[in-house]
Structures are given as C-alpha cells and as structure tokens.
Amino acid sequence: MTGSSEIGAILTLLGSGKGELPAQLSIAQKLIEVLPVPVFFKGRDGVYLGVNKAWESFFGIPRGDIVGRPLDAIYPQAPSVAQRHRAMDEELWRHPGDQHYEITVPRSDGALRHTLYY
C-alpha cells in the first residue's frame, strides 16, 4: 500500500479510537512519513528531532545528517537563515498557536528554495 491509499488507511485507524497509545504513535509516524509535504520536528533548544522523506528530498539533506543537530550546523553557510528560524521558534514558544513565515533557504547543493513555513 502506498501514497493516498496508505494515508487513507492510516487515517481510518487513527479515527477508529481503537488501540493503545504506542500503536497510535506508530500510525502517526507512518502518516507523517508518507505526507507529500516536508515535515520536521525540533526541540525547544532548536535541535532537529526528526524529518520526513519529503523534507529530505526538498532540502537535499539526509535525515542522518540533520537529526540531533542544531540549526547552526544545518545552515553554516547561511547564518541569517538559522537566526531567522531561531527567532521564529522563540516567538512560537512565547505565543503558542499558528505561525507562518516565508524565508529563502539553501539546499545542500547550494540552490535556494523560497519556503513558506507553517
């Protein structure tokens, strides 16, 4: 099962309300992994905790090169990018809720990506 059929199956399982928390977390992880949009998780300290396949593809950085590393290590050639992300992260911690911002970020190959973050 791949793509939209896999997403549909996962959503059905999540909506059923059956299963233990570990099973639900496993399902959520699978759902995030197959989403066609880049998804990432960072800790309060700015260290990346995880990314999905779409994130790896969009930014050209394998997850093994990002998970466990802080913003500054990901964007050493663009300190202003790390600084902007850090400022937006702090704003979100101070005022939880929805947030979106635009920023141009470099891929691992040097190409620039105009990116909208939610």
HEC string of 33-92 equals HHCCCCCEEECCCCEEEEECHHHHHHHCCCHHHCCCCEHHHHCCCCHHHHHHHHHHHHHH
In CATH, the architecture of 36-117 is 2-Layer Sandwich (3.30)
> What percent of the chain shows pLDDT beyond 70?
82
pLDDT digits (tens, 9 = 90+) for 45-71: 889 989 999 999 988 889 999 899 998
- Structure confidence at residue 1 as a pLDDT band (50, 70, 90): very low
Q: What's the whole-number mean pLDDT along residues 61-87?
A: 87
Q: In this predicted structure, what is the pLDDT of residue 2?
A: 47
Confidence (pTM): 0.70
CATH code 3.30.450.20 region(s) in the chain = 36-117
User: What average pLDDT does the structure give for the chain?
Assistant: 82
